[in-house]
Structure formats: C-alpha cells, structure tokens
Chain A
Amino acid sequence: MNLFMPIALLQHGAMQQLPWWKMPECWWLTMGVLLLLADIFGKNISHRIIPRISLWGLCVAWIVAVFAPRGAESFFGAGYIYDGTAYFFKAFFVSATLAVVWMMLADEQERSEGRSEYFILPWFAMSGMGFLSSANDFLTMFVSLELVTITFYILVSYHRVRRDSLEAGAKYLVLGALSTGFMVYGIAFVFGLTGTLDFGKVSIFIATHDIQSGVAFGILLILVGVAFKVGAAPFHWWVPDVYQGAPTPITAYLSVASKAAGFAILIRLLMSPFYAIWTQDVAGLMVLAAVASILIGNLGALAQRDVKRLMGYSSVSHAGFLLMGLVAATDFGLKALYFYLVVYALATLLVLGLVCVLARSLGGTEMRHFSGLAKRNPYLAWMMLIGMVSLAGLPPTGGFFAKWQIFAAAWEAGRHHLVLFAIFGAVVSLYYYLAIVRKMFFASADDEKETVPVRVDPVYFALLSLLTVGTVVTGLAPSLVIKCIQKLAF
C-alpha cells in the first residue's frame, strides 16, 4: 500500500467516525486526571501506591495499544485519524512511557520527598503524543504538541531543589516557547493563504497552485518549529543543556518519545499537506538539516565529559540520521525510519537507564565515574557495551541494520553525497561511544572506595535486561522486527 496519497483524496466520508471511547488518548487523559485527584484526596497512602498504579496502568495501556483491532477511522470531523502510522506511534509512545516510568520508580525509591506528580505527568505527555500522531489538521497538531511541551517543562524542572534541573527547565521553557511562536506564526501564514487548517485541503491547494512566497514562508516556519522538537541542527542549542540538567529518566523520555513525536508530525506533514513540494523543495532542507545535525552532533560529542551531555549531542546526530529516512519520501524510507526509531529507543533507554541507576552508586554521571565498572559489576558493564555498540552502529546489534537501511533508502533516492557524509559521521561517532567502554573495561578505579561491587534492584535489573535483549534481537533478527513494524504501521 502506498502511504503517500493526500489524505483528502481518500474521501473522509468513507472513513468510519470513531466514538470517543475508542480513542486511547481519552482513557489515558482520564487516568491522568483520576490519579491527580487520588493524589489530592488520599494524602497518606498515595505516595506509595500511585507510582505502582501508574506503572500497572501503563502495562494495560501497552497491551491495548499493541493488540487493539485496527482499521482507518477518523474523529472530530477529520481532525483526528487512526491509521497505521497512528497505531505504530501510539504503541511506540506507550512502550517508551512504560520504560521511563519503570525507570523513575527505581530512581525515586531512594529519594525521601516522594511526590507522585512525577509518575502522573507522563500520562499527559503520552496523551499529547498520541493525539499528535493522529493529527490531521493544524489545530489538533498545535494543541497536542503544546500538551506534550508544557508537560515536559514541568518534568524537566521537576527536581526543583537542584540548580541543574531548574536551569535546564528555564532554558527548555524559553527555547520551547520560541519554537511554539515560530510554529504558530507559520500556521497563520499557511492558513491565511490556503484558507484552511485541514491537512487534506492544504495538500490539494499546494498540489494545484503555484507556491506563493507567503505559503513558503509559513511552511518554513512550521518546519523550524518541528526541527526544535526533534533537536535537529541548527535548532539544537537547547538539547545538550536540557539533557544534562533534567532528571535522568526524563532525559531518556525526551530523547526517545519527544523526538519520536517530532518525527510523527514530520511524517504526517510529509504524507499529506506538504507532499506535493516534498521531493523538490523540502527534501533539500532536510538534507541540509541532516548534514548539519550529523556534523554538529558528532563534533560536539567528541569533547564531552558528562555522559548525559554526550547523549544529548549523540541524540542530535541521531536526529540527522533519522531525517535521512524522510529525504527519500518512499515507503522503504519510512520503514527504515521506523526501524531506526525502535532501535534508537531501545539503545538510548538502555544507556540512560544504566546512567540513572549507576549515578548514585558511582557518585556522578561524568565519564571518569564509570572507570573500572567492569570489575564492580560485569553485567552492567556488558549491558552498557551493548547499548553503546548499538548507538554506534556496529554489527551484532540493531544499530547496524538500522543505519544500513536508512543509508540504503537515502542512496536509492539519489542522495549519494549525503550517505557518504553520514558514513563518515558514523565512523567519528565510534570514538566517543567506545571511549566510555574503554573507561569501563580498561581504566582502573582511582581510589579504594571504587572497588566495592555495585548492586542493582532486581525490578530495575529486569527492565535493563529486557532492553538489552531487545537491542540484541533487533540485531540478530531484524527481519522479524521489520515484519512487526510492517504489520503495525502499514
């Protein structure tokens, strides 16, 4: 099936209208509100129970999202559609949120000030991302994007007794609001000159008219706003600071789910409103952004000493690789992009999960804290190795096949220089991904305190093992994973 047909041509009348209870986001929002109310009225017990309810609720939501029956449906007139892309992204967001809340649970256990909003807010962010992946007009897109962003402002600055967290929150706030401003202004121009907010009608307008400078200006501003969200250069300034300062589970959430949400909008925009101009005009911009992201992400990461900040720069370069999948604008490119997202999510959650659990026992998140880890807990060191190898894109893990597919898609689209440049970028990235591996396995710990074995909570170890197995399975049986993606998304 060819995904790239302007949605309006599918005739909305033929699409089944969805009753509200069939939208998973309605349930997710209800759950979030109920948990907030429970937090207010159940003062004494709520701190202990709410995190658990949140986690189990997410397990249920995950089962529903993955195994729900499917068919093309729409809601809110045509503002919300529930097609393959929406299915894939909803399953992706629920999985990411589940892993992150699991991570938070382990992270917060040892903290004395147990506040339960930390476990409730991800429900709202998840609903926003779910709506976003179903958005079929600019109104839905804008409101759901803001639901995600505003929730993330709170989550990033959540540890408000720590200066890092608040500073990261303030920076994210200013730059996030700036990108919102750009996006709304762009939407205003696209609306003004096409006369509609509906993706399908905009796509017909763009396909049948010459592009006026006003529309081009609007499209450019919208793309700038989205580039902020995915953290692609040249709009990446917030990424390193925010990733470093945010609580580690939130760093993982930002780099996996928030980035994927940005790509969900890009795919929606590509599939419908901007399809007519994608291959000539927009793809050129994507190539520039991809080259800039790969260059800046990799060069920036080379000099880093803090692992969270390094992951920030690394996520900028991965945004560049992901954009390569969109340059092609084919089904093959999209499939490669989805596969890359899954692999990237598994490896990033694994690495940041390890950083999160190790930060306290190692005394920090800087690279030097990881030296000699292989002697203190070989399992964790090997897990970190697998995660780093997958991010770097070396063979036995999923990262290799993901990069391979993305490069093949871009090569097929005739972007040979881009592919060669990206391969160069991937080679450079080996240096900083393997630097930490070298520290863990070959550097010795400086003082005697650092030879005590590191222990991990079994609940948390289970999560890390799952992510490790996932990373290895995507590498050993990529065709299986691609088949699953195909079944969900196409």
Chain B
Amino acid sequence: MLITLQHYLVVSGLLFSVGLAGVIMRRNLIVVYMCLEMMLAAAALALAVFSRYNQNMDGQVLVFFVITVAAAEVAVGLAIIVSLFRLCRTVQTKDLTHLKF
C-alpha cells in the first residue's frame, strides 16, 4: 500500500484532536501542557508533509521554528507551573479558582 498525503493528514488530524480533547478534559496542568505540545506536533507533521507534497522547503523551515518556539514555550511554561506548585502545592486546574468576582 502506498502511503499518501491523505494518510499523513489523517494522522496529523488525529493527533490534533487527541491534543485538543486532552486540553479540554484533563485536570492536571502538566498533562494539559503535554496535550498542547501534541497539538503543536500535529501542526509540525502537517507542515512537513505539505512541504514534501508541494516540493518546496518553506514548510520544513517553518517546522524548525515551530520546534524552537515550542521548546521556549515549554521552558517558560514549566517554570510557571513549578512556581505555582511551590506556592500552592497543587497543579490541578480545579484548584485554580482564586481569580473570580
């Protein structure tokens, strides 16, 4: 069987959906964050595949930037989550209810 553009896009769509579902349903900030990374990975996969399909490298260059940005985001994000844990002893989203009117 030949693996075509569609197959890759289905995988990428599945990854994106699983990530989105995780962000909406999971209750642990770390897991939510992992799901967000999964969404970025799905986008990176789609970019790489489309780049191959279009026979130009622009998309693959963008993938490198996506990976770099994701790494920077993780560095900052985990720092915030760790500080939050130090202060409140929790990383559950249900406990983040301090801000409301």
Q: Are B58 and A196 in contact (CB under 8 A)?
A: yes
Bound: A32/B6 CA distance, A: 45
Residue picked from A181, A189, A192, most chain B C-beta under 10 Å: A181
Q: How far is the CB of A311 from chain B (nearest CB, A)?
A: 13
Q: Are B42 and A170 in contact (CB under 8 A)?
A: no
Q: Are A181 and B36 CB-contacts (below 8 A) given A153-B77, A163-B87?
A: yes
Residues of B close to A169: CB separation below 8 A: 80, 84
Q: Are B72 and A188 in contact (CB under 8 A)?
A: no
Stretch from A95-103, A139-147, A395-403, A447-455 that touches the partner: A139-147
Name which residue of chain A comes closest to B65, CB basis.
A143
Bound: A303/B101 CA distance, A: 8
Residue picked from A170, A180, A241, most chain B C-beta under 10 Å: A170
Residue picked from A157, A160, A185, A240, most chain B C-beta under 10 Å: A185
Q: Are A167 and B96 in contact (CB under 8 A)?
A: yes
Q: Are A195 and B54 CB-contacts (below 8 A) given A143-B69, A181-B40, A188-B59?
A: yes
Main secondary structure of the interface of B (DSSP, over half): helix
Bound: A143/B64 CA distance, A: 11
Residues of A close to B65: CB separation below 8 A: 139, 142-143
- Give per-residue flags for A213-250: 1 if the beta carbon is below 8 A from chain B beta carbons, else 0: 00000000000000000000000000011001100000
Q: Are A177 and B36 in contact (CB under 8 A)?
A: yes
Q: Which of B12, B66, B101 contacts A304 (CB 8 A)?
A: B101
Main secondary structure of the interface of A (DSSP, over half): helix
Q: Are B83 and A157 in contact (CB under 8 A)?
A: yes
Residues of A close to B42: CB separation below 8 A: 181, 185
Q: Are B80 and A191 in contact (CB under 8 A)?
A: no
Name the interface residues of B38-91: CB closer than 8 Å to any CB of A: 39-40, 42-44, 46-47, 49-51, 53-54, 56, 58-59, 61-62, 65-66, 69, 72-73, 76-77, 80-81, 83-84, 87-88
Q: Which of B58, B80, B87 contacts A139 (CB 8 A)?
A: B58
Bound: A43/B77 CA distance, A: 27
Q: Which of B56, B61, B73, B99 contacts A167 (CB 8 A)?
A: B99
- Give per-residue flags for A12-49: 1 if the beta carbon is below 8 A from chain B beta carbons, else 0: 00000000000000000000000000000000000000
Any B CB within 8 A of the CB of A178: yes
Q: How far is the CB of B91 from chain A (nearest CB, A)?
A: 9
Q: Are A184 and B66 in contact (CB under 8 A)?
A: yes
Q: Are A191 and B33 in contact (CB under 8 A)?
A: no
Q: How far is the CB of B8 from chain A (nearest CB, A)?
A: 10
Any B CB within 8 A of the CB of A168: yes
Residues of B close to A306: CB separation below 8 A: 101
Q: How far is the CB of B80 from chain A (nearest CB, A)?
A: 5
Q: How many residues of A contact B (CB 8 A)?
A: 46
Q: Are B59 and A192 in contact (CB under 8 A)?
A: yes
Any B CB within 8 A of the CB of A197: yes
- Give per-residue flags for A124-146: 1 if the beta carbon is below 8 A from chain B beta carbons, else 0: 00000000000000110011001
Residues of B close to A207: CB separation below 8 A: none
Name which residue of chain B comes closest to A137, CB basis.
B58
Any B CB within 8 A of the CB of A150: yes
- Give per-residue flags for B89-101: 1 if the beta carbon is below 8 A from chain A beta carbons, else 0: 0000000101111
Name which residue of chain B comes closest to A196, CB basis.
B58
Name which residue of chain A comes closest to B5, CB basis.
A192
Bound: A146/B69 CA distance, A: 7
- Give per-residue flags for A64-96: 1 if the beta carbon is below 8 A from chain B beta carbons, else 0: 000000000000000000000000000000000
Q: Are B101 and A164 in contact (CB under 8 A)?
A: no
- Give per-residue flags for A292-309: 1 if the beta carbon is below 8 A from chain B beta carbons, else 0: 000000000001111001
Q: Are B77 and A177 in contact (CB under 8 A)?
A: yes
Q: Are B46 and A185 in contact (CB under 8 A)?
A: yes
Q: Are A164 and B43 in contact (CB under 8 A)?
A: no
Bound: A116/B88 CA distance, A: 25
Q: Are A173 and B58 in contact (CB under 8 A)?
A: no
Name which residue of chain B comes closest to A138, CB basis.
B62
Residue picked from B29, B43, B65, B99, most chain A C-beta under 10 Å: B99
Bound: A248/B86 CA distance, A: 23
Q: How far is the CB of A195 from chain B (nearest CB, A)?
A: 4
Q: Are A178 and B50 in contact (CB under 8 A)?
A: no
Q: Which of B33, B66, B88 contacts A177 (CB 8 A)?
A: B33
Q: Which of A164, A191, A193 contacts B62 (CB 8 A)?
A: A191
Bound: A184/B43 CA distance, A: 6
Q: Are B40 and A184 in contact (CB under 8 A)?
A: yes
Residues of B close to A185: CB separation below 8 A: 16, 39, 42-43, 46
Q: Are B59 and A245 in contact (CB under 8 A)?
A: no
Q: Are A188 and B23 CB-contacts (below 8 A) given A146-B72, A173-B80, A180-B40?
A: no
Any B CB within 8 A of the CB of A389: no
Any B CB within 8 A of the CB of A166: yes
Residues of B close to A305: CB separation below 8 A: 101
Any B CB within 8 A of the CB of A187: yes
- Give per-residue flags for A148-179: 1 if the beta carbon is below 8 A from chain B beta carbons, else 0: 00100110010011011011111101100110
Q: What 4 pairs across the A-B complex have the smallest Cβ distances? A: A192-B50, A181-B39, A184-B43, A188-B46
- List 7 additional contacts besides A185-B43, A196-B56, A197-B62; criterion CB under 8 Å: A160-B83, A160-B87, A166-B84, A166-B87, A188-B12, A192-B49, A244-B99
